[in-house]
C-alpha cells in the first residue's frame, strides 16, 4: 500500500537504486510520475531496473557509476541534470556488507565497506550539492540500525553507517540555510531483500529469531520504506531536517534488550 503524493515533473535521483529497498523507493517515486534517475555499479542491474521502472510511470534514466569513484558520481549527476534538471529529491543508499568477526576481517575487507557506505555517501552528496534545487531539495540517506546499536560481526558497517548518520546531521546544519533538508531513514528487517537474507536471516532459525526482535511482530516491506521516502521528499516534511528516522517496527529498541539483560545480570551478580 502506497501513499499518494504528486511528484509529477519532480526529479528524483536514487543512488544504489537498482535493487532491493532503494529500487522500491525509485519505483514508488516513478508511480507518482516523478522523473527518476537510478545509478549503480552493474550494467545488468541498471538495465533491469530501467526496464521495470519504465512500466511504472514517469520518465527514467539509468546510469552506471560506482560510488567509490568521485568523478563517475559527478558524471552521473551531469547526465541526469542535463536530462531532467535540478534534483528535487536525492536518495543515497548504495551499500555493501558481509558478516565477519573483527579479528578475522582483513584491512581491505573493513575498508571496502567504509569506502562504499561512508566515503561513497560523501561522494554522492558532495557531487549532488551543486545540482540540488534550492530552496526545497530533500536529501535522504539510507542507513541502518547498526549506526546506533552496534552489531556483532559488522564492525565495518556499524562504523560506516554511524558515519553516514553524522554526515546527515552535519550537512543538515551546513545546507539548511540554502533550504536543503537532509535526513536518514534507518530500515529494519525488510523481507525479500539481499541485506535481510545475507545479514539477518541466512537460515530459517535466524529468520525466526529476527522476527522475535520486532515488537510489531512482522518484517518490513519495500512499501514501508518507500512511503517514508515519499513523505520526506514532500512539502509535508518541510520542517524535518537532520533527523535519523527508524522504520523498523520498533526493532532498534528490542535489539538493545539482550545487551541490557547481560549488563543487568552482571550488575546484579
Ligand atoms: N568475509 C570476509 N571478508 C570478505 C567477505 C566475507 N564474506 N567478502 C568480502 N571480503 C573481503 C575480501 O576478502 C576482500 O579483502 P582482501 O582483499 O583482504 O581479501 C575485501 O573484502 C573486498 O572484497 P571484494 O569482493 O573484492 O569487494 P567488491 O568491491 O567486489 O564487493 C562487497 C564489495 C564485499 C561489499 C560485496 O559484498 C558487495 O558488492 N556487496 C553489495 C551488495 C550487498 O552487500 N548488499 C547487502 C546490503 S548492504
Ligand atoms: P541491495 O539490494 O544489495 O542494494 C544495494 C544497492 O547498492 C544495489 O542497487 C547495488 O547495485 C548498489 N551498490 C552496491 N555497491 C555499490 C557501489 N560501490 N556503487 C554504486 N552502487 C552500489 O541491498 P538492500 O538490502 O536492499 O539494502 C539497501 C540499503 O538499505 C542499504 O543502504 C542497506 O544498508 C540498507 N538497509 C537494508 C536493510 C534490509 O533489511 N535489507 C536493513 C537496514 C538497512 P550494484 O550491485 O549494481 O552496484
171 CB within 6 A, ligand 2: no
Sign of the Cα pseudo-torsion (150, 166, 228, 89, in order)? negative
Domain layout of the chain by residue ranges: 11-268
pLDDT of residue 268: 55
Q: Can you say whether residue 127 is alpha, beta or left, with left for phi > 0 and alpha for psi between -120 and 50 degrees?
A: alpha
pLDDT of residue 227: 98
pLDDT of residue 56: 85
With a Cβ cut-off of 6 Å, ligand 1 is lined by: 95-98, 100, 106, 108-109, 112-113, 194-195, 198
> Which atom in ligand 2 lies closest to the alpha carbon of residue 17?
9
Whole-number Å distance between alpha carbons of 151 and 188: 13
How far is ligand 1, taken at its centre, from the CA of residue 97, in Å?
Answer: 7
- The mean pLDDT of the chain is 94
Per the listing, cell 545475507 goes with: 198
Is the confidence at residue 264, as pLDDT, over 80?
Answer: no
Confidence of residue 258 (pLDDT cuts 50, 70, 90): low
Whole-number Å distance between alpha carbons of 174 and 171: 5
pLDDT of residue 260: 45
Q: Structurally, what CATH architecture does the domain formed by 11-268 represent?
A: 3-Layer(aba) Sandwich (3.40)
- The burial class, CB within 10 Å (0-12 / 13-18 / 19+), for 124 is buried
Whole-number Å distance between alpha carbons of 60 and 193: 22
pLDDT of residue 259: 47
**Which grid cell is 254?**
528490542
CB-based contacts of 175, cutoff 8 Å, min separation 6: 129, 132, 139, 182
Nearest one of 46, 53, 97, 109 to 72, comparing CA atoms: 46
Contact 151, 183 (CB under 8 A): no
pLDDT of residue 261: 53
How far is ligand 2, taken at its centre, from the CA of residue 160, in Å?
Answer: 14
Amino acid at each position: 500500500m502506497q501513499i499518494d503524493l504528486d511528484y509529477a515533473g519532480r526529479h528524483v535521483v536514487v543512488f544504489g537504486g537498482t535493487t532491493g529497498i532503494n529500487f522500491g523507493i525509485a519505483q514508488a517515486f516513478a508511480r507518482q510520475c516523478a522523473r527518476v534517475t537510478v545509478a549503480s555499479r552493474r550494467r545488468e542491474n541498471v538495465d533491469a531496473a530501467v526496464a521495470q521502472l519504465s512500466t511504472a510511470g514517469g520518465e527514467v534514466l539509468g546510469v552506471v557509476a560506482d560510488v567509490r569513484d568521485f568523478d563517475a558520481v559527478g558524471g552521473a549527476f551531469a547526465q541526469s541534470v542535463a536530462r531532467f534538471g535540478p534534483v528535487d529529491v536525492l536518495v543515497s543508499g548504495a551499500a555493501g556488507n558481509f558478516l565477519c568477526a573483527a579479528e578475522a576481517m582483513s584491512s581491505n575487507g573493513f575498508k571496502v565497506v567504509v569506502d562504499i557506505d561512508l566515503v561513497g555517501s560523501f561522494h554522492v552528496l558532495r557531487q549532488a550539492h551543486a545540482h540540488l534545487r534550492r530552496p526545497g531539495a530533500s536529501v535522504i540517506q539510507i542507513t541502518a540500525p547498526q549506526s546506533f546499536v552496534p552489531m556483532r560481526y559488522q564492525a565495518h558497517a556499524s562504523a560506516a553507517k554511524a558515519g553516514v548518520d553524522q554526515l546527515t546531521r552535519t550537512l543538515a546544519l551546513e545546507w539548511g540555510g540554502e533550504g536543503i533538508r537532509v535526513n536518514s531513514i534507518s530500515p529494519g528487517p525488510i523481507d525479500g531483500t539481499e541485506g535481510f537474507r545475507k545479514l539477518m536471516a541466512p537460515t530459517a532459525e535466524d529468520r525466526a529469531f529476527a522476527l522475535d526482535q520486532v515488537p510489531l511482530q512482522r518484517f518490513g516491506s519495500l512499501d514501508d520504506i518507500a512511503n517514508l521516502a515519499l513523505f520526506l521528499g514532500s512539502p509535508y516534511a518541510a520542517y524535518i531536517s537532520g533527523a535519523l528516522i527508524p522504520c523498523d517496527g520498533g526493532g532498534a529498541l528490542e535489539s538493545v534488550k539482550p545487551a541490557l539483560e547481560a549488563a543487568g545480570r552482571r550488575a546484579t551478580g
